[in-house]
Structure 1
Amino acid sequence: MPGRLPRAIAATLAWLGAGAGAALAQSAAPGATELELIVVGAPANLLAQRIDALAGGADLVSTAELVDVANPTLSRALAATPGVVVQNFFGGNDQPRMQIRGSGLQQNPVERGVLALHDGLPINRADGSYVIGFANPAQAESIEIYRGYLANRLGASVLGGALNFISPTGASAPGTRLNVGAGSFGQVGTRGQFGWDGGDRDLLVQADLAERDGFRDYNSSRRTHAGGNLGFRQGEHFILRIFSDYTDLGFDVSGPLTAEGLRRDPRAVFAGPTITPGGAINPGPNVIRDRPRRDAEQSLLGARLSGSFAAHVLDLAVGHSRSDDSFRFPVSSGIRTTVGDDNTGVLRYAWKADAERALPLFEGTAQYVRGAADRDYFLNRAGRKGERFAANQLDAATLSVNAGFNIPLGDLVLSPSIAWSRASRDNADVYGLATRPTLAWNPAQPSVALPDGAVPTVSTSYARDYQGWSPALGLSWQVDARNLLFVALSRSFEPPTHDDLLATVNGTPNSSAGRPNPGNPGQPAAVFATPDLAAQRASTLELGWRGQSDIWNWDVTGYASRIDDELLSLRDESGASLGAMNAERTRHLGVELGLGVEFGSNLSSRLAWTWQDFRFVDDPQRGNNRLAGAPPQSLYATLDYRLNPRWSAQAAVRWIPTRTPVDNHNTLYADAWAVFDLRSRWRLNDTVSVFAEVSNLFDTHHASSTLIVDQARADQAAFMPGDGRGVHAGVNVDF
């Protein structure tokens, strides 16, 4: 299909041919419920065909290559996907910065801006926030990516888009699969999967464990996952699928280094500011003392009933999730614990008046998510849980309704749609004490505690309501069987999350929230900011071309967004929170290019290039500066060579060719960098294969990501070191 890279086509066709009906039943593509199995050699890959026909940026990513990876992270799975920028923080299964078209970019860590789905049900909480480490590409069969307004039909209320992680089923992946891998930085991982196909019933169970000590001194991580699904087919009209999933995630937060520290010793962790006769230098968190870390669990239980009645397709899904998230921030924010439950209901309907067309004539979706959580804050006493200084009961509800047509006009398809969302964000402050405790350390001797303090309690309760319309109009032109052009104009609506509406403030690298002067325990100061934020709204124009020639295939999209009230989460030069704000006007420009070429039966190459230019517009303080944190360019390229039917090799480059602004005032930048990887796979027989990889071949010191601050200092700790040279190997058993 046009726009799909060669290997992705082959891999996706392979798994769809094995059992496409079950896989499509968990897809979120338009009219994707498909009850008839597709036989090997079918003339069209229905799922890829439907995604390719959309008038906007969309991709289908096969995770087939991840079986040959010892450390299958989200950044690795999405590396070849243009428009999805994933910047590693600590190298493992932790909290990389993922953004699509800049949505949620400035959160540290990113917890907003993308709707993440598991088999069509959200991983996000009811307020739109998410823990990115819960997204597990190793246990997905494929990943659907909908950029921009195309995600509206899935219930998304974001500028960026949506990702749907599609699980394998017993019908699509019968048999047993085992994987064991290990390598540098104490990396150890194992995955197992069993599928059974009984015709009108199928079962799949899977589990994985990944651990690593990490490249840096305080850098361990682990993720345990178990899940499965059970499918029932009733005749030719109904499929019921029940699924469950459990993830236990934990990782050390190694924190940033100064630019000099990155060059000198990227394995080190930062020990906080240095006090000199002229004042404090090298601002940043004291990771050695505060031991920041995150431990989170999430359980998902859901059911999805899909039915097909002649030209009509109906899909009903319900789900429940429970999450327990403990985040030990540096002392400036303390320890945040969140325990909550979220319930989701989704109803989708599609009318396929012409079965020969890829897209339904009409599609409607309604999604309602409601959740409640208890959030407490505790002082961070040198890595130990101290006194509680806040208690909140958070409630959120989001209702999203979307209706759209795909009207054929000869070789043209006109796609008007309208979405409406209503969101509530309520917080009840149940702390109940007259004062909130504070603590501090001596800045000159950061291991020596100063007298504890207290500040008057000010209620953080709020009740916020948001609603907005998101109309869109797309037009696609099927020039010929190999080329499709499209243009779309859309509006988007993105309400803030509780993380935007409730934030600690007035902390320092040596004192807790509410204590801006470590040496003054009685100075009154706010502990929290609860800004009255507006929803972020944007108007976006995008144009694209998907096509192929004899040896080339391409998928390119360009977009321009004008944003009102963009949500920004600000931090000061030390990395301490300043709370969130609305930027009055910003604009986002971008190009998303995927390119593939087949030089012959044994040699192929792929390129994913993302160009981003995100700027303030006449901001009183920041002028027309670039928004911090977005690399102007991001490039990933591979060269694949099949030496013989059993042995293949790949060379890859990850390249940030220009410097990246660290702060919104554009005073500090991360340098450009390029990292090269080599990989190889050898299939011993039909059951066993082995793989090996050398990552960062030349051991390049680089900042894979940065903190994002409002106004930086040249000497501040803001740079997240990427992994050095690593060697990994493993074995796959498939029977």
Structure 2
Amino acid sequence: MKISYLALAASLIATPALAESRGADDADTSRANDIVVTATPDRQQATVMIDRIAGAVEIVPDSAFRNTPVQNIKDILSYVPGVIVQPRMGDDARVSVRGSGLSRAYGNRGIAMLIDGIPLNTSDGLLDFFEIDPSAYRYVEVYRGANALRYGSNALGGAINLVTPTGHDAAPLEARIDAGSFGYVKGQASTGGASGDLDYFATISAQRIDGYRAHSNGDALRGNLNIGYRLSPDVETRFYVYGASTNQHIPGEVSKAQALNAPRSANPVWIAQDQQCNVDSIRVANKTTVRIGETKVDVGVFYNHRHVDHPIYQYLDFTVDDYGGFVRAVDDRTIGGLRNRLIVGANIQNGTIDTHQYVNVAATKGALTASMVDRSKNVSAYVEDALYVTPQVSLIAGLSYLHASRNRRDQFLADGDQSGRRSYDLWSPRFGVLWDVTPATQVYANVSRSAEVPSYDANVITTPNLNAQRATTYEIGTRGRHGAIGWDVSLYRSEIRNELQCLTTAPWAPCSIINAGRTVHQGIEAGLDAALPVSAFVAGDSLALTAAYTYNDFFFDGDTTYGHNQLPGVPKHFLRAELLYKHPAGFYAGPNVEWAPGHYFADNANSLTVDPYALLNLKAGVDIGTRWSLYVEGRNLTNKTYISTVAVAGAATAASELFNPGIGRAVYGGIRFAW
């Protein structure tokens, strides 16, 4: 869980003595803290705001991942219950929240990914992680399920917002270097500061890795720039620039036998075709925040440009240009003696994908086989109102609307004209209740609708009767802290119609997108953290326990082909747990485990299983305040061979090439220093 979200919120909202102890600048009323005027991503503000949501939400501070060799997004999200991260190779991974996109062999969908509140998904909804620098963020917001209305998202998996530091909370100069097994080396440097009304933060990182598997080497260069200026006490504007250049070889899926008996090998077809994913991208954005009386307004615009050089089963060369804007207003005032919090917003995200497709001749372009221009338009609006019928209980009602259109202009007519247009109009209501049982304990419940439009890789134009995915989710939960123990528990059930599945039909071809009919995703998400003083060696030493358990019960609901079979792709039970000894001088050490007990399936027919596994890891380090830290980690110390992720099929056999093996025994270390 790695968070203390409600305890922090309670200290800001309900305990004036604690607020005063933080200093005069931080002591404020709960309402002012909720809508304080700043575009600066302050974690205390974010914690207060996120804990007004009647649903499963998290904040992961950088203290949870900064003293670790952060290689991919799994190192950030490992201890968030309900989130399953299954690495493929390099920075790429499948992220599934409550079963979102669990059948995809490439890319991700069903999650809105943002950096500083700016969309990272392409305008048709697809998402890759190659552009993300996991060590560049101050904190990460996770909104599970239909709880991401703050950003206008209503996807099944919710939203994840990665927040970069600003000049107000960054060191003047900071550097780190990490290295370890399989040729992994990463260096990063950053600078930040403030002068009067101006502040800035900039970071750049470079990494390379040979890879655990053959043909999985890659490198990346990434940079982030964040500049803010306070125009007046009530107005602040902030500019963001992100750039990335990544190059990654793809080892490909293999059979189960090959994955378990020769886990470092690659698929020979992938090697012969020299399959790769190479992405150059730049993103620019502006967000301006204005306070007008009791109302805070955010207005932003953004532009994302990507060029993707992607030799796979064919050679794909495409350019992505996405642009859009957003406006969001939060009004928090007393009406008729009752506190009322109103959120109103709208988003526009449009884009073009200009694709040229060739025969792949060992990573060189052969004859042209396809060319098209795909345009996406998305306009959404949302409103949510929370009325505090008592100071401790708020009733919440919300509604979102999405108009999406997909327009393809076919430029290669040798195989017929496949131009076309489709549009969708989707409404999603939400109702909830949030009860502050004590200043540090909450109970919540909600019922929400979600909707997802197919992406272009689904051949959304030419596939007949391919519908948008719809879901109704029921959720109850509690979060809080009592003394040294914090918890976060939610139970949910999503009843889905037309679930979008990406089924692998051949190892050398893209998956085929279908609607699965009626399915159910239900489960339990439970997080625990505890800091237990023990004074075992010296006064003040302690044991820190962190655990995240996820129960996934996903199944077809009377499907004509698959009946009530289990949905494939993720383990039914998944546990991450860590126990650290902490010395007051800054030394820490301890084991952690990743455990997926029980088999789960690789296909809808439930004919091929993925074996259970347990990984033993160990980490240790010295963290001397904010100045420097030294850390080392051993991962998969027993060298367990296991399946990390599977490309889902309709029906599979023992020879089906669907599997990506997990990484074997590895050791990583690093050092971080701030001036």
1:222 CA displacement: 1.6
Match for residue 489 of structure 1?
A: 447
Does the CA contact (< 8 Å) of 1:4 and 1:59 recur in 2?
no
Match of 2:484 among 551, 562, 575: 551
Partner residue, 1:463: 421
Which whole-Å CA distance do the structure 2 matches of 1:20 and 1:588 have between them?
47
Query: What amino acid sits opposite 1:395 in the alignment?
Result: R
Q: Decide whether the 8 Å contact of 1:53 with 1:358 is kept in 2.
A: no
Q: Secondary structure at the match of 1:109?
A: coil
- Return the offset for 1:630: 2.0
Determine the structure 1 residue equivalent to 2:54. 55
Q: 2: distance between equivalents of 1:189 and 1:574?
A: 32
**2:269 equivalent to 1:289:** no
Q: Pick from 381, 384, 394: which aligns with 1:401?
A: 381
Deviation per CA, 1:525-571, whole angstroms, max 9, x where unpaired? xxxx6344111111110001112222321111111011111111222
Q: 1:142 & 1:387 partners in 2: Cα distance?
A: 47
Q: Determine the structure 2 residue equivalent to 1:720.
A: 660
Shift of 1:580: 1.1
Give the Cα–Cα distance (whole angstroms) in 2 for the partners of residues 541 and 57 of structure 1. 12
Unaligned runs of 5+ in 1: 23-28, 272-285, 435-456, 504-528
Counterparts of 2:67 and 2:662, CA distance in 1: 21
Say yes or no: does 1:417 pair with 2:417: no
Q: Distance in 2 between matches of 1:314 and 1:657?
A: 47
**Could you say which residue in structure 1 is the equivalent of 2:347?**
367
Paired residues for 1:317-396 under 5 Å: 317-330=300-313, 334-353=314-333, 361-396=341-376
Report the counterpart of residue 514 of structure 2 in structure 1.
581
The DSSP-based 3-state class of the residue aligned with 1:287 is helix
CA change 1:672–1:241 in 2 (3 A) is same
| Cα pair 1:19 1:38 within 8 Å, conserved | no
Q: Secondary structure at the match of 2:156?
A: coil
* 8 Å CA contact 2:167, 2:194 repeated in 1: yes
Match of 1:707 in 2: 647
Judge conservation of contact 1:353–1:361 (CA < 8 Å) in 2: yes
**2:516 alignment partner, SS class:** strand
Letter in 1 for 2:565: N
Q: Residues of 2 paired with 1:72 and 1:548: CA distance?
A: 31
Equivalent of 2:559 in 601, 606, 619 = 619
SS in 1 for 2:227: strand
Q: In the alignment, which residue of structure 2 is the partner of 1:530?
A: 463
Does residue 664 (structure 1) correspond to residue 604 (structure 2)? The answer is: yes
The AA in structure 1 aligned to 2:380 is S
Whether contact under 8 Å (1:18, 1:172) holds in the other structure is no
CA distance in 1, matches of 2:258, 2:546: 35
Within 5 Å, give how 1:554-565 maps onto structure 2: 554-565=487-498
1:175-254 aligned within 5 A: 175-254=172-251
Q: What SS class does the counterpart of residue 498 from structure 2 fall into? A: strand
Matched letter for residue 87 of structure 1: Q
* Most deviating of 571-580 and 58-67: 571-580
Displacement of 1:248 after TM fit?
Answer: 1.2
Which consecutive unaligned segments of at least 5 residues does structure 2 have?
Answer: 12-18, 27-31, 534-540
SS in 2 for 1:137: coil
Matches within 5 A, 1:11-160: 34-35=37-38, 45-90=44-89, 92-93=90-91, 95-160=92-157
Whole-Å Cα distance in 1 between the matches of residues 137 and 214 of structure 2? 31
2-side partners of 1:209 and 1:463: how far apart?
41
Inter-CA distance 7–535: structure 2 relative to 1 (3 Å threshold):
closer
Cα–Cα, structure 1 residues 5 and 578, in superposed 2: closer, same or farther, change >3 Å?
closer
Q: CA RMSD in A?
A: 2.9
Contact (CA 8 Å) 1:562, 1:586: kept in 2 or not?
yes
Residue 628 of structure 1, CA deviation? 1.5
By how many angstroms is 1:689 displaced? 2.5
Report deviation, 1:123.
0.6
Distance 1:301 1:5 in 2: 30
What SS does structure 2 have at the residue aligned with 1:89? Answer: strand
SS in 2 for 1:67: coil
Aligned-residue offset at 1:659? 1.6
1:645 and 1:7 map into 2 onto residues whose CA distance is 26
Do 1:183 and 1:728's aligned partners in 2 also have CA atoms closer than 8 Å? yes
Report if aligned partners of 2:105, 2:511 keep a CA contact under 8 Å in 1.
no
Match of 1:427 in 2: 408
348 and 20 in structure 1: CA distance in 2 versus 1, 3 angstrom threshold:
farther
Alpha-carbon deviation of 1:685? 8.1
SS at match of 1:175: coil
Q: Distance in 1 between matches of 2:385 and 2:451?
A: 20
Cα distance in 1, alignment partners of residues 275 and 24 from structure 2: 44
Cα distance in 1, alignment partners of residues 218 and 312 from structure 2: 16
Q: Distance in 2 between matches of 1:684 and 1:51?
A: 30
Q: Which of residues 667, 671, 674 is equivalent to 1:731?
A: 671
**CA–CA distance in structure 2, aligned partners of residues 306 and 535 of structure 1:** 34
Report the more deviating stretch, 403-412 or 375-384: 375-384
Opposite residue 210 of structure 2, the aligned amino acid is D
C-alpha change, 1:19 and 1:97, in structure 2 (3 Å) is farther
| C-alpha distance in structure 1 between counterparts of 2:500 and 2:163, whole Å | 30
Report the CA distance shift for 1:187/1:565 in structure 2 as closer, same or farther (over 3 A): same
Tell me the secondary structure at the aligned position of residue 257 of structure 2. Answer: helix
In the alignment, the residues of structure 2 paired with residue 125 and residue 555 of structure 1 have an alpha-carbon distance, to the nearest angstrom, of 32
| 1:678-702 C-alpha deviation (Å, 9 max, x unpaired) | 1111246863332111111111111
Indicate if the aligned counterparts of 2:96 and 2:102 stay in contact, CA closer than 8 A. Answer: yes
Alignment check: 8 A CA contact 1:425 1:463 kept: yes
Matches within 5 A, 1:583-662: 583-600=516-533, 602-662=542-602
Q: 1:543 to 1:143 in 2, by over 3 A?
A: same
**Aligned partners of 1:18 and 1:391: how far apart in 2?**
60
Report if aligned partners of 1:616, 1:622 keep a CA contact under 8 Å in 2. yes
- Cα deviation for residue 712 of structure 1 reads 0.5
Q: d(CA) in 2 for partners of 1:210 and 1:359?
A: 50
Which AA in structure 2 matches 1:169?
Answer: T
Counterpart of 1:701 in 2: which secondary structure?
A: coil
TM-score by length of 2: 0.91
For residues 437-492 of structure 1, what are the alpha-carbon distances to aligned partners after superposition, in whole Å with 9 as ceiling and x for unaligned? Answer: xxxxxxxxxxxxxxxxxxxx122212010011100001111111222111101111
**Which of 425, 429, 435 lines up with 1:477 in the alignment?**
435
Cα contact 2:6–2:51 (8 A) shared by 1: no
CA gap of 1:613–1:209, structure 2 versus 1, over 3 A, is same
Q: Which residue of 1 aligns with 2:16?
A: none
1:118-147 CA-to-partner distances (Å, cap 9, x unmatched) read 111101111111222223321111111111
Deviation at 1:34, TM superposition (A): 3.5
Runs of 4+ in 1 over 3 A off after TM superposition: 3-10, 16-22, 29-39, 357-360, 529-532, 573-578, 683-688
Distance 1:598 1:221 in 2: 39
- The farther-off stretch of 260-269 and 420-429 is 260-269
Residue 568 of structure 1 corresponds to 501
